[in-house]
Amino acid sequence: MKALSVLGSTGSIGTQTLELAEEFPDRFKVVALTAGNNLDLLVQQICRHAPEAVAVSDPERVAALRERLDALDPAKRPARLPELLGGNEGLCAAAAWSSADLVVTGIVGCAGLLPTLAAIKAGKDLALANKETLIAAGPVVLPELEKSGSRLLPADSEHSAIFQCLQGTPYAETARLSTGVPTPGLRRIQLTASGGAFRDWAPEDLIKATVADATSHPNWSMGRKITVDSASLMNKGLEVIEAHYLFGLDYDQIEIVIHPQSIIHSMVELADSSVLAQLGWPDMKLPILYCLSWPERLETPWRRLDLTEVGSLTFRKPDPARYPCMALAYAAGRAGGTMPAVMNAANEQAVALFLDEQIHFLDIPKLIDGVCDRHRVDLMGAPSLDDVLAVDAWARQAVREAAALVAA
């Protein structure tokens, strides 16, 4: 029985993780949950999973959560109510919860950084969905992993595919790299990308793109921020940096391929030129389950892949003019140090402004580019956690100021 702490339990990754816990009740139990604002769903999750601890990001909402739990029919609520926690401290305590074996990081954005570090420092293994944390703070996270011995199991479908293809290599045994060491025998990674909501739009039509257009993904059902990132291809750019930190390859060895069917979840090329791929329907449950069950594979009754139903798998190179975020992410990754943190924070802020209809979709890369450009002179090569948090806050503020100028 593996005990799970689920961070971001009310989101897309979080709810799918809890569905897996229900599907395999003799394998997984939930001991801690954290959430942002959706108290209704959180209360339902507490009733179903009876965790030992629950944290909400806003400390002022702990009292409201307690009232709701107290108001429940005693027959319908767990016999023992969870310990209720709040704020960053509460999120970190839930992430490091003593009885948890594996922490699923389903918080969106750099807000996941401190809880993720708390889990690593407590020696927990991680199912890493919250890619922004590794991208912003790779130079801080990797040494902590090495120190604590925590294993980083990739939940992102592409990185899970790579991890699955690497079974039999030393990497798969440790699920952890020594900082900066490339995975032995791995020569190239090809990350597949669906192309997102605008893949079939004429570039001149992008000026008409609305929030509704950008938040409807052709293949995957995910949270709003990552769906916008998929439309801009920033999600794939972030995944390039994620792959660099997870598998230790240089940026020249990590490529992006547009694959509209989302059946091949990524490919690796090994030293002898053999290419391995992992295939499946586009469904996050499989990569999440593999994190939970690794190194075992569990029998599932899920719909089996039928390639004759899919018919054809196609591939093309991504057009850099259509997807300017791709080049921004490679450049930030290559600059290293604090630059990925700045780019990630600028993207988070720009996407939030876009979702709030304050800027246009096409402003997102322009704002990120401007802020990264300004940071070049202040770049720190080997940042501390405080440095990462400081540049993150600076980049968000810089985007807000630049966006206000655009709007004025």
For the bound state, the minimum distance from the C-beta of residue 205 to ligand NAD, rounded and expressed in Å, comes to: 26
DSSP state letter for 207: G
Name which of residues 220 to 239 contact ligand NAD (CB under 6 A): 220, 222-223, 226
Q: Which of 5, 17, 116, 130 binds ligand NAD (CB under 6 A)?
A: 130
d(CA 77, CA 262): 41
Pairing of strands 102-105, 83-86: unpaired
**In the numeric block, which tokens belong to residue 23?**
């599907």
The residue among 91, 99, 93, 149 whose CA lies nearest residue 123 is 149
The span of 61-69, 123-131, 274-282, 397-405 binding ligand NAD (CB under 6 A) equals: 123-131
Choice between 5 and 187, CB closer to ligand NAD: 5
The span of 154-162, 302-310, 330-338, 343-351 binding Mg ion (CB under 5 A) equals: 154-162
Choice between 88 and 358, CB closer to ligand NAD: 88
Q: Which of 5, 10, 164, 261 binds ligand NAD (CB under 6 A)?
A: 10
Q: Which of 156, 348, 363, 392 binds Mg ion (CB under 5 A)?
A: 156
Q: Is 8 in the site for ligand NAD (CB under 6 A)?
A: yes
d(CA 117, CA 112): 9
Site size toward ligand NAD, by CB under 6 A: 26
Q: Which of 32, 103, 108, 189 binds ligand NAD (CB under 6 A)?
A: 108
Choice between 238 and 342, CB closer to ligand NAD: 238
The span of 7-15, 70-78, 175-183, 331-339 binding ligand NAD (CB under 6 A) equals: 7-15
Choice between 159 and 176, CB closer to ligand NAD: 159
For the bound state, the minimum distance from the C-beta of residue 58 to ligand NAD, rounded and expressed in Å, comes to: 8
d(CA 209, CA 215): 10
For the bound state, the minimum distance from the C-beta of residue 378 to ligand NAD, rounded and expressed in Å, comes to: 25
Which parts of this chain interact with ligand NAD (CB under 6 A)? 8-14, 35-37, 57, 91, 106-108, 111, 129-132, 156, 220, 222-223, 226, 284
Q: Point out which residues bind Mg ion (CB under 5 A).
A: 156-158
